[in-house]
Amino acid sequence: MNKMEIIEMLAPLGYNCRSGLSRTGFRGITVHNTSNWNKGANAIAHANLLRGSWKSNYTSWHYVIDDTRAVRCIPENEVAWCAGDGRGDGNMKTINIEICDNSDGNILQATENAAELCAQILQRYGVSNASAYLYQHNHWTGKDCPYDIRRGNPCDWNTFVNKVQQKLNGGTSSSGADQIIRVGSKVKFNGVFKINEVIKPNDKYPNGAVGSYATCYGAPCDANDYIPCGPLATCNADGSNPNYNGVLRVGGYWTCDKIFNVVATDLPTKYLKNGVATLEADGVRFRCDCGPLYEVSNN
Ligand SMILES: [Zn+2]
């Protein structure tokens, strides 16, 4: 398949489309078709609706996907109003994906991309049995959605679930990792990272923490996916002007020259090809994809 890109065009906070409520658990993914057959009604067009004429509606989705790309409109750890079940589990505990069926798009490829995105998400949540974590919108409210898949366009539901399962199964066959980080290694962060979320000091992170999509391949989905603020420096997008006393803000950037101990690792998978390292700083343990890390000498 073509390589699908995932981009982010978040819906604006402070409007009905984006409550800012935290998702209250993870029961899986709810799959929809947009049932918007207008020409040009692709993923970016739908993302723009949430930033424009639809922003005051109680309607939104985490991802909208077409034959070229997936667009993240609501962070995975927030609630999107998509399943139609109010404060039920469809809205509160699943990630909602809209597959575009615009008449000038390729629905075969869009649906294939959706299966790929589902597999990536389930993989991140440690799911191995796709069928237990995939829901039609119809499951929650009886709505005739996903409209196309329910009519076998381009495939029926069982075929879609099997596609996701096959992609999940392929997940552990070969890692293709750039490097494997081992327990006991000392590592540094390699690069400059955008700050997508900031969390206030709490019991786990006494100095607060930042969430960066680049360090966890998607929105932080677990309390351990945040990086303590203590060791981080604010900087410009190109890494210049690092300031270890700077205030870390959403939309800004951080870099870090400090050395961390690797205290645990998760093995690479197809979707996290470099594996995940558990690091420790300021007595706080947190998880990070190994991709942005490099080993430094133990001496
Ligand atoms: Zn739907």
pLDDT in tens, the chain (299 residues): 446 788 999 999 999 999 999 999 999 999 999 999 999 999 999 999 999 999 999 999 999 999 999 999 999 999 999 999 999 999 999 999 999 999 999 999 999 999 999 999 998 888 889 999 999 999 999 999 999 999 999 999 999 999 999 999 885 433 344 456 778 888 889 888 999 899 999 999 998 999 988 787 666 767 788 999 999 999 998 889 999 999 999 999 999 989 999 998 776 665 566 678 899 987 889 988 887 888 886 54
The domain spans of the chain are: 5-172, 186-296
Whole-number Å distance, alpha carbon 256 to ligand 1 midpoint, is 42
Question: Which whole-number Å values give the CA distances from 96 to 20, 33, 49, 164, 249, in the listed order?
Answer: 15, 11, 16, 15, 27
Q: What is the pLDDT of residue 281?
A: 82
Phi-psi label, residue 282: left if phi above 0, alpha if psi -120 to 50, beta otherwise: left
Residues 6+ apart with CB under 8 A from 169: none
Q: What is the pLDDT of residue 293?
A: 85
Whole-number Å distance, alpha carbon 32 to ligand 1 midpoint, is 4
Whole-number Å distance, alpha carbon 81 to ligand 1 midpoint, is 10
**Which pair of tokens denotes residue 14?**
């402070």
Bond into 206 cis (ω within 30): no
Q: What is the pLDDT of residue 64?
A: 98
Which amino acid appears at position 29 of this protein? I
Whole-number Å distance, alpha carbon 4 to ligand 1 midpoint, is 22
pTM confidence score: 0.61
Q: What is the pLDDT of residue 174?
A: 36
Element (H, E) at 277: strand 276-281
CATH of domain 186-296: 2.40.50.670
Euclidean distance between CA atoms 133 and 135, whole angstroms: 7
**Which pair of tokens denotes residue 1?**
């398949």
Q: What is the pLDDT of residue 3?
A: 63
Euclidean distance between CA atoms 201 and 97, whole angstroms: 32
Q: What is the pLDDT of residue 292?
A: 82
Task: Considering only the C-alpha atoms of the chain, give the largest distance between any 2 of them, rounded to a whole number of Å.
Answer: 63
Q: What is the pLDDT of residue 56?
A: 97
Whole-number Å distance, alpha carbon 85 to ligand 1 midpoint, is 11
Q: What is the pLDDT of residue 291?
A: 78
Whole-number Å distance, alpha carbon 61 to ligand 1 midpoint, is 9
* Domain 5-172 part of CATH 3.40.80.10: yes
Whole-number Å distance, alpha carbon 35 to ligand 1 midpoint, is 8
Whole-number Å distance, alpha carbon 136 to ligand 1 midpoint, is 8
Whole-number Å distance, alpha carbon 64 to ligand 1 midpoint, is 11
Q: Which of 199, 114, 198 is nearest to 148 (CA)?
A: 114
**Which pair of tokens denotes residue 146?**
């996903």
Whole-number Å distance, alpha carbon 88 to ligand 1 midpoint, is 15
Euclidean distance between CA atoms 170 and 181, whole angstroms: 22
